[in-house]
């Protein structure tokens, strides 16, 4: 059985030759899909969807059925594993943390369950998805990167200027190192649990890496992300690191202990692939492209595929698909990749 027949996505992560680029899309189980909106309307709120394995599994599978994607990413939220660590989380509908970490003392109440527990709902959802997934389709687990999780933990909500988290990091740098290290260790345990229940690859989302200067990112984002990735060294699963807004960090990324670097749409795919030689790359069409006419989506997708490396490349958007994208636009994007053949 060739790599293409077994699992195109996992092969590309390992830089094994495939017949065409594998394709999946960040936030592919999302509000742009009418079948997702229908389930969401019934479930009521977002956290209930995450916490109910039947629902999480069903919405994970929806885009696979519709588009025949090469990988499914488990439906969840980066903040749910903070709850077993002692965090009081609510979505209203944006995330609110009612007991944010604002001082070195607050850090003490952030504990790591040993062994990891409290996310059994996700383990069950992973198993349900895996049981219903063709072996050709990979199942991706994920978590937030330590820095990105720290921004929510300290700010207590989504932030634009990140002043509270920077205040804590600058005022108590050693305590802040401990905070991101603890998050790295917790997320490593959490991802191991995901792998034990069926995840075949993991993606670490550093959604707010772009909020830091390169110097600060090295200490507070890349260093703990490296700690997290290294803790998975013994597992035989490809690791994907995604530093959104990280154009200024490109030259630091070749050293990350992971198999795949996901690029946002600001990155020049050809240049980034050269810099990242030795790693697989994933991305990076502007999600805004899917708001354009179908011919333009096709043209831009093909242009991306033409400049992408021939081995070790996974087609994706450069960020999550947005709720206002027409289903037909997603279809056009996916079909254009699926029709592309390597010589």
Shortest separation between residue 1's beta carbon and its own copies, angstroms: 38
**Are the C-beta atoms of residues 201 and 10 closer than 8 Å to each other?**
yes
Positive or negative torsion for Cα 335, 13, 307, 289: positive
For the CB of residue 296, give the shortest distance to its own copies in the complex, in Å. 5
32, 36, 40, 313: the active-site residue:
40
Number of residues in contact with its own copies under rule CB under 8 A: 33
CA distance 274 to 291: 30
By CB under 8 A, name the one of 14, 102, 136, 248 that touches its own copies: 248
Question: Which range touches its own copies (CB under 8 A), out of 111-119, 198-206, 259-267, 330-338?
Answer: 259-267
Please give the angle made by the CA atoms of 196, 200 and 201, to the nearest 5 degrees.
115
152 included as an active-site residue: yes
Catalytic site residue from 27, 128, 130, 192: 27
Q: Which stretch binds its own copies (CB under 8 A): 46-54, 73-81, 102-110, 159-167?
A: 159-167
If one asks whether residue 292 binds its own copies (CB under 8 A), the answer comes out as yes
Q: What are phi and psi of 219, to 5 degrees?
A: -80, -45
User: Which one, of 33, 55, 76, lies nearest residue 323 by Cα?
Assistant: 33
Position 166 contacts its own copies (CB under 8 A): yes
Based on CB atoms, which residue is closest to its own copies, 92 or 213?
213
Stretch that binds its own copies, among 10-18, 53-61, 145-153, 280-288 (CB under 8 A): 280-288
Contact characters 195-234, its own copies, x per CB under 8 A? ---------------xxxxx-x------------------
User: Is 102 noted as a catalytic residue in this protein?
Assistant: no
Q: Is 80 exposed, middle or buried (0-12, 13-18, 19+ CB in 10 A)?
A: buried
Question: Which one of the listed residues 14, 15, 31, 66 is annotated catalytic?
Answer: 31
Q: Is 31 a catalytic residue?
A: yes
Residue from 293, 310, 328, 339 in contact with its own copies (CB under 8 A): 293
Q: Does residue 167 belong to the site contacting its own copies (CB under 8 A)?
A: yes
Q: Give min distance, CB of 320 to its own copies, in A.
A: 9
Three-class DSSP category at 139: strand
Q: Can you state the angle between helices 223-230 and 173-196, rounded to 10 degrees?
A: 30
Give yes or no: 27 in active site. yes
Our finding on whether 331 is near its own copies (CB under 8 A) is no
Those residues with Cβ within 8 angstroms of residue 238's Cβ, 6 or more apart along the chain or in another chain: 10, 13, 14, 200, 201, 202, 258, 259, 260, 280
Q: Among 6, 170, 277, 328, which residue interacts with its own copies (rule: CB under 8 A)?
A: 170
* CB-based contacts of 142, cutoff 8 Å, min separation 6: 73, 74, 76, 78, 194, 202, 203, 204, 205
Question: Does 296 help bind its own copies (rule: CB under 8 A)?
Answer: yes
Q: Which of 7, 148, 200, 289 binds its own copies (CB under 8 A)?
A: 289
For 46-190, list the strands marked E by DSSP: 71-73, 89-91, 95-97, 138-144
Q: 146, 77 in Cβ contact below 8 A?
A: no
Return the closest-CA partner of residue 313 out of 255, 248, 263.
263
Q: Is 40 a catalytic residue?
A: yes
**280, 12 contact by CB (below 8 A):** yes
Catalytic residues: 27, 31, 40, 77, 152
Residues that bind its own copies (CB under 8 A): 161-164, 166-167, 170-171, 210-214, 216, 245, 247-248, 265-268, 286-289, 291-293, 296, 318, 322, 324-325
């Amino acid at each position: 059985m060739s790599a293409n027949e077994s699992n195109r996505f996992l092969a590309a992560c390992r830089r094994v030759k495939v017949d065409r680029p594998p394709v999946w899309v960040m936030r592919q189980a999302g509000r742009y899909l009418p079948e997702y909106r229908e389930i969401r309307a019934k479930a009521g709120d977002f956290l209930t969807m995450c916490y109910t394995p039947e629902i999480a599994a069903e919405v994970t599978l929806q885009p696979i059925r519709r588009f025949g994607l090469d990988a499914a990413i488990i439906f969840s939220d980066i903040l749910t594993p903070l709850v077993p660590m002692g965090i009081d989380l609510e979505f209203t509908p944006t995330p609110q943390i009612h007991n944010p970490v604002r001082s070195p003392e607050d850090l003490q109440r952030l504990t790591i369950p040993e062994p990891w527990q409290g996310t059994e709902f996700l383990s069950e959802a992973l198993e349900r998805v895996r049981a219903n997934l063709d072996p050709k389709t990979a199942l991706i687990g994920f978590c937030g990167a330590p820095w990105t999780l720290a921004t929510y933990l300290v700010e207590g909500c989504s932030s634009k200027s990140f002043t509270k988290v920077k205040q804590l990091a600058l005022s108590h740098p050693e305590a802040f190192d401990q905070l991101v290290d603890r998050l790295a260790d917790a997320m490593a345990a959490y991802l191991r649990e995901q792998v034990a229940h069926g995840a075949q690859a993991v993606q670490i989302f550093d959604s707010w890496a772009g909020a830091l200067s390169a110097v600060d990112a090295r200490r507070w984002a890349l260093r703990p992300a490296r700690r997290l990735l290294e803790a998975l060294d013994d597992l035989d699963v490809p690791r994907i690191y995604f530093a959104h807004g990280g154009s200024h960090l490109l030259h630091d990324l070749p050293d990350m202990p992971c198999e795949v670097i996901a690029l946002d749409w600001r990155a020049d795919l050809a240049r980034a692939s050269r810099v990242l030689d030795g790693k697989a790359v994933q991305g990076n069409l502007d999600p805004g492209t899917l708001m354009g006419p179908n011919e333009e989506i096709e043209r831009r997708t093909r242009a991306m595929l033409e400049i992408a490396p021939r081995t070790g490349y996974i087609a994706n958007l450069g960020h999550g698909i947005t709720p206002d994208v027409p289903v037909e636009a997603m279809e056009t994007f996916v079909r254009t990749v699926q029709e592309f053949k390597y010589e």
